[in-house]
Structure 1
Amino acid sequence: MNKEELKEKYGKKRVPHEWRKTDWFTTLIVTFFGSGMSPKAPGTMGSLAAAIVAYPMAVLACRLLEFKSDVFIGGEIFGLFINLFFLAAALIVFFAAIPFVKKAMKDTGTEDPGWIVIDEVCGIFMALAFVPLEFIIAQPWILAVAFGLFRFFDILKPLGIHKFEKFPGAWGVMADDLLGGFYAGILLGFGTAIAVAIGF
């Protein structure tokens, strides 16, 4: 994405409170409990809110529900973790959010407005789908790394992410962030595997 496209997407003027044109429940979902209503950098705020919420989710799944969700793919020396809990969370958010995003854009007459941040939530969860739950709980700084990597891919949209953004309607809003989260997760997963291998 070049400088002009970045300016057009992130520098455009937004209609104040345009989210009020849709119903309160749809607003609650697509703004992720209001985090997308931030007047500045709503996407960053939505991603940050998702990263913060991810920690108690990991604790709940691992310690309270005793959710065994980590699958290791690879050999004795090196491989990649698949966290089925956050993978499921990302996919559930992706498909469940589609009708809400579609309704929000239709009601407000907008196309991928900044205050819709449920797609960022999906991306953060997908990024964490490559980190073991126990590692997230023991090393919560990994959430900051996931946040940074995801925002990198979400803003710059390299490696074909911008093509997913061009999918029609709500699918385009959600799909590019899912792919961005996937790329961030792959990098995060390899880093985590290396950390585990050296006994970090």
Structure 2
Amino acid sequence: MNAAPAGSSPPQAPGQSGQRPPFWRPESLIATWFGAGLLPKAPGTWGSLAALPFAAAIVWLGGPWALLAAAAAVFLVGIWASAKYAGERADPGEVVVDEVAAQWLVIFPVALDLKLYVLAFVAFRVVDILKPWPANWADRRVKGGLGIMLDDVLAAPYAMALCYAAWLWFGRNTCFPWTY
């Protein structure tokens, strides 16, 4: 008989009761954005920072529309990865793929001006922390991988609007992707 000894609990699948899948697994690499979410303190900030060089590279290689396509792809893959990584846990802090997809959305309107990446980063971190409606609704009501991803993506348009307003205010020195 393979019964567990008295007083011990049976082994649990990764993602249940706080147990993480191994780091080398695809869902771990994607969910933590290659370990950025495992850095100490403020994993969301680390995830957003880790998104910036990838965004710059994607824009350099394919332009702003490639960044928008990449954000959509990361959103879809992130639903799977975060659900698989989190298991029964609700939005573990180390899951930062949601920050990556949303940060890329915020960068999209200012993708050709690296100076505005700082504004896009700060604006996104503020709205991600404040979680305005409907992001706060999604954070409370939508569960699983979609819930993990959706609240940040729903907060992103607020930061995008702030970036666009700054562009208008500071004299339109930046080209926006939709003006090509």
Normalised-by-shorter TM-score class: 0.7 to 0.9
Is 1:155 the equivalent of 2:155?
A: no
Counterpart in 2 of 1:127?
106
1:19 aligned counterpart, secondary structure? coil
Q: Which residue of 2 aligns with 1:89?
A: 70
Report what 1:181 is aligned to. 156
Larger CA Rg, structure 1 vs 2: 2
Residue 27 of structure 1, CA deviation: 0.7
Q: TM-score, normalised by structure 1?
A: 0.70
Match of 1:47 in 2: 48
Q: CA deviation at 1:196?
A: 4.9
Out of 142, 146, 170, the residue aligned to residue 167 of structure 1 is 142
Q: 2:86 aligns with which of 87, 105, 120?
A: 105
- Alignment deviations for residues 158-192 of structure 1 (CA, whole Å, 9 cap, x no partner): 23310011212111110111011121112212322
* 8 A contact 1:153–1:180 mirrored in 2: yes
CA contact (8 A) 2:44 2:99 kept: yes
Amino acid at match of 1:41: A
Specify the code of the residue in structure 2 equivalent to 1:175: L
Specify the alignment match of 1:79 in structure 2.
none
Higher relative contact order (Cα pairs below 8 Å, separated by 6+ residues): 1
Residues 56 and 84 of structure 1, relative CA distance in 2, 3 Å threshold: closer
Give the % identical residues. 34
Query: How big is each residue's C-alpha offset from its partner over 1:124-152, in whole Å with a ceiling of 9 and x where there is no partner?
Result: 01101222x4x32xxx2211111100010
- Alpha-carbon distance in structure 2 between the residues aligned to 1:174 and 1:123: 9
Partner of 1:114: 93
CA distance in 1, matches of 2:34, 2:25: 10
Q: How is 1:23-102 mapped onto 2 (pairs within 5 angstroms)? A: 24-62=25-63, 83-102=64-83
Deviation at 1:195, TM superposition (A): 3.6
Pick the structure with more strand per residue: 1
Paired residue secondary structure (1:110): coil
RMSD: 2.1
Q: Kindly indicate whether the alpha-carbon contact (under 8 Å) linking 2:58 and 2:67 is maintained by their aligned counterparts in 1.
A: no
Matched-pair contact (CA < 8 Å) for 1:154–1:177: yes
Would you say the 8 A contact 2:106–2:124 is kept in 1? yes
Cα deviation for residue 53 of structure 1 reads 2.1
Q: How many residues align?
A: 156
Using the alignment, how far apart are the partners of 1:196 and 1:50 within structure 2? 27
